[in-house]
């Protein structure tokens, strides 16, 4: 009888553990945030991977909050935020303002650069130095890179905007364009695993654009404050930098 009673006690204990685990999972907080469309290494594979995706997951994971991501084109982010039951948007200009939205401190930096092949020996110290050169930029670059850039490329006889940013690298190294314009981390990410001889040519990075800091926006001050503190914690622990290294460490350096 004592053995039977002992077995029953153990079974009851296991059932209670399972029940408590299920209850905790059922009551775990979760939020839904709007992301942009794929832009590796920041966001890709339908917003399941990327620096920003993992960074935000880790930040909220510190507080045991699950995050679901909904990818939308950039122009529809605010519409989705207004109409859907979501708690925020993950990529907004750091000075962004919207009624009822609590904007976080800047947590991610985008840095656009111009890239040319070293064999051309270009001196590109300013946007104006792109004049007279064939340029392939990212899609809607004229909208995001300022009036001076737009003015210069509007007079270019060979300016293109490319949706597939991997294609930009191919165009540069195949001598189909003289300069490409894209984010430095996107460039490094696509160069990371390029083993073909085509991509072994020396190149030069031209830092002619200002860094752009981006924040996240939330419907709740509570989530905004939680996020800010968690990002600070990730930076102090070194996990923030390790996440970037995961995606970019093995990229080939410039010559």
Per CATH, the number for 8-108+214-248 is 3.40.190.10
Report pLDDT digits (tens) over 192-214: 878 788 999 999 999 999 999 99
Which residues are bridge partners to 218 per DSSP? Answer: 88, 102
Mean pLDDT of 50-65: 96
Residue range 88-101: average pLDDT? Answer: 94
Mean pLDDT of the region 229-235: 97
DSSP state of 68: E
The more confident residue out of 2 and 141 is 141
Q: Mean of the per-residue pLDDT values for the chain?
A: 88
> Which superfamily, per CATH, for 112-206?
Periplasmic binding protein-like II (3.40.190.10)
User: Each residue of 15-45: pLDDT tens digit?
Assistant: 455 444 444 444 678 999 999 888 999 999 9
pTM of the model: 0.80
Give CATH 3.40.190.10 domain extents, the chain.
Answer: 8-108+214-248, 112-206
pLDDT band at 252 (very low <50, low <70, confident <90, very high): very low
Structure tokens at 146: 């300022």
Q: Can you give the pLDDT at residue 74? A: 80
Give the span between the Cα atoms of 175 and 165, in whole angstroms. 16
Look at residues 191, 188, 184, 187 and name the one whose alpha carbon lies nearest to residue 208. Answer: 184
pLDDT score, position 7: 55
Among 96, 121, 118, 98, residue whose Cα is nearest residue 106: 96
What pLDDT is recorded for position 27?
Answer: 61
């Amino acid at each position: 009888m004592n053995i039977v009673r002992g077995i029953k006690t153990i079974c009851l204990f296991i059932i209670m553990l399972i029940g408590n685990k299920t209850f905790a999972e059922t009551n775990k907080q979760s939020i839904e945030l709007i992301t942009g469309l794929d832009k590796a290494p920041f966001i890709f594979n339908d917003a399941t991977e990327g620096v920003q995706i993992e960074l935000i997951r880790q930040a909220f994971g510190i507080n045991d909050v699950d995050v679901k991501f909904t990818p939308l084109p950039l122009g529809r982010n605010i519409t989705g935020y207004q109409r859907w039951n979501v708690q925020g948007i993950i990529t907004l200009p750091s000075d962004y303002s919207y009624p009822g939205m609590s904007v976080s401190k800047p947590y991610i930096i985008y840095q656009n650069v111009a890239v040319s092949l070293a064999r051309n020996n270009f001196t590109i110290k300013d946007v104006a130095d792109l004049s007279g050169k064939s340029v392939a930029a990212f899609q809607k670059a004229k909208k995001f890179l300022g009036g001076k850039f737009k003015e210069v490329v509007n007079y270019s006889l060979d300016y293109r905007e490319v949706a597939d940013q991997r294609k930009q690298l191919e165009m540069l190294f195949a001598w189909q364009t003289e300069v490409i314009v894209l984010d430095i981390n996107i460039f490094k990410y696509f160069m990371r695993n390029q083993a073909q001889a085509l991509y072994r040519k020396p190149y030069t990075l031209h830092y002619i654009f200002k860094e752009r800091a981006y924040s996240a926006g939330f419907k709740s001050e509570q989530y905004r404050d939680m996020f800010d503190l968690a990002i600070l914690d990730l930076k102090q622990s070194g996990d923030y930098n390790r996440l970037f290294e995961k995606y970019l460490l093995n990229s080939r350096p410039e010559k």
